[in-house]
């Protein structure tokens, strides 16, 4: 039995590519055993089991961004997590490890290196994270979504769910809008702030509704499970807030324009589907979201608003500018589509199966 472990956790941006690859691996090798290694603290605790994939847990080893007590304890925590990951890989007789970055990946990379298990790294962001920078040094194969993220890596795009990568937006649009209670004939703006929502974007959208109602559009807004619908917004019948969108492919099919963060997964989905977007990069972190969209914005495939500049007036003005131009949406769609890269899940799966076979 061939066994492949995928290391991914934290946010959907790391977990979804791993799930897409897990499915591709199983489709290519029915006798292959695939499982995901995560931690107790990330979204993988719920998302992975819901998708029918086995989840193995190791301790979380977050990298502090500031000098504090947690930084001094990091070597000890990383050593302990690596020992646990090593025992897991040994017990499961793992033949290949595929990592997607985030805290969980580094101890799995180190454990695989110690055991001589071949490693594949996939970097989703333009600015590579620490775990993948380290793992890429001794990986057998390194993939990236954006050119230049990791020296020598092969640019293949982002592994995506087939429900999104093969979506026919035009054929699905009417049913998609019906499923969300939307009008079939109105321009539609989809708003979301990532897998957990974005409170500041939610606030600005609420403040924008009075102006947006004059534009004969409708808004589908995923506010995030941790956020509540603003009661004051219920007077606007064109505004449709939901806590979470389970089938993003339907939301994309319904949308003419997206307002969102600039995570790598989001960009990959929207370029594959050629959907114009107004990107509001997450201001915290190491600045990777702004770097993620730099080339796309330069080529006209999206519009950029920095979080520090974001106001209701600016957002409404940008939406009006895009919708009121007869050609703007089509031009943005064409430019976005030129950045699309497909079948990354298939390429990762093929590489993992080849390395696993050679290792046995």
* pLDDT tens digits for range 115-158: 999 999 999 999 999 999 999 999 999 999 999 999 999 999 99
What is the rounded CA–CA span in Å between residue 229 and residue 57?
A: 34
Query: Do 41 and 19 share a structural domain?
Result: yes
Cβ 82 vs Cβ 61: under 8 Å: no
Query: Do 199 and 154 share a structural domain?
Result: no
Query: Do 153 and 31 share a structural domain?
Result: yes
What is the rounded CA–CA span in Å between residue 101 and residue 79?
A: 18
Domain of 135: which CATH number?
Answer: 3.40.50.2000
What is the rounded CA–CA span in Å between residue 8 and residue 12?
A: 9
Give the number of domains in the chain.
2
SS3 state at 80 = helix
Task: Work out the pLDDT band at 299, boundaries 50, 70, 90.
Answer: very high
Query: Do 249 and 191 share a structural domain?
Result: yes
Query: Do 68 and 200 share a structural domain?
Result: no
The domain in which residue 196 lies consists of 163-337
Query: Do 301 and 175 share a structural domain?
Result: yes
Q: Which of 27-36, 122-131, 222-231 has the lowest mean pLDDT?
A: 222-231
Query: Do 128 and 265 share a structural domain?
Result: no
Query: Do 186 and 144 share a structural domain?
Result: no
The CA distances from residue 211 to 229, 238, 254, 313, 348, in Å, are 19, 12, 22, 8, 46
Q: Which of 254-268, 272-286, 288-302 has the lowest mean pLDDT?
A: 272-286
Task: Work out the pLDDT band at 65, boundaries 50, 70, 90.
Answer: low
Query: Do 186 and 98 share a structural domain?
Result: no
Query: Do 146 and 11 share a structural domain?
Result: yes
Q: Which positions ≥6 away from 33 have C-beta within 8 Å? A: 1, 2, 3, 4, 92
Query: Do 182 and 119 share a structural domain?
Result: no
Task: Return the number of other C-beta atoms located less than 10 Å from residue 62's C-beta.
Answer: 14
Please name the helix (run of DSSP H) or strand (run of DSSP E) that holds residue 183, with its range, or none: none
Query: Do 167 and 125 share a structural domain?
Result: no
SS3 state at 260 = strand
């Amino acid at each position: 039995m061939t066994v492949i472990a995928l290391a991914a956790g934290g946010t959907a941006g790391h977990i979804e590519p791993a799930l897409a690859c897990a499915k591709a691996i199983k489709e290519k090798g029915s006798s292959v055993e695939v499982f995901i290694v995560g931690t107790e603290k990330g979204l993988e605790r719920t998302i992975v089991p819901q998708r029918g994939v086995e989840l193995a847990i190791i301790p979380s080893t977050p990298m502090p961004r500031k000098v504090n007590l947690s930084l001094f304890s990091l070597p000890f925590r990383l050593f302990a997590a690596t020992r646990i990951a090593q025992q897991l890989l040994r017990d499961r007789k793992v033949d290949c490890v595929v990592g997607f970055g985030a805290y969980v990946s580094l101890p799995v990379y180190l454990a695989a290196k110690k055991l001589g298990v071949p490693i594949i790294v996939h970097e989703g962001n333009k600015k590579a994270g620490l775990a993948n920078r380290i793992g890429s040094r001794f990986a057998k194969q390194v993939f990236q979504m954006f050119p230049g993220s990791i020296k020598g890596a092969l640019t293949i795009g982002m592994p995506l769910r087939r429900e999104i990568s093969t979506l026919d937006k035009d054929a699905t649009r009417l049913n998609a809008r019906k499923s969300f209670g939307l009008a079939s004939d109105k321009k539609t703006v989809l708003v979301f702030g990532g897998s957990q929502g974005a409170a500041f974007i939610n606030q600005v959208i609420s403040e924008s509704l009075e102006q947006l109602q004059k534009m004969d559009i409708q808004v589908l807004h995923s506010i995030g499970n941790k956020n509540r619908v603003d009661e004051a917004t219920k007077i606007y019948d064109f505004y449709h807030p939901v806590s979470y969108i389970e089938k993003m492919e339907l939301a994309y099919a319904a949308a003419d324009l997206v307002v969102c963060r600039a995570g790598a997964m989001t960009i990959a989905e929207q370029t594959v589907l050629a959907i114009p977007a107004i990107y509001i990069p997450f201001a915290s972190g190491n600045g990777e979201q702004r770097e993620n969209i730099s080339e796309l914005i330069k080529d006209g495939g999206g519009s950029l608003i920095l979080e520090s500049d974001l106001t209701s007036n600016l957002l409404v003005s940008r939406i009006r500018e895009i919708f009121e131009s007869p050609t703007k949406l089509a031009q943005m769609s064409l430019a976005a589509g030129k950045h699309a890269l497909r079948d990354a899940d298939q390429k990762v799966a093929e590489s993992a199966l080849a390395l696993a076979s050679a290792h046995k």
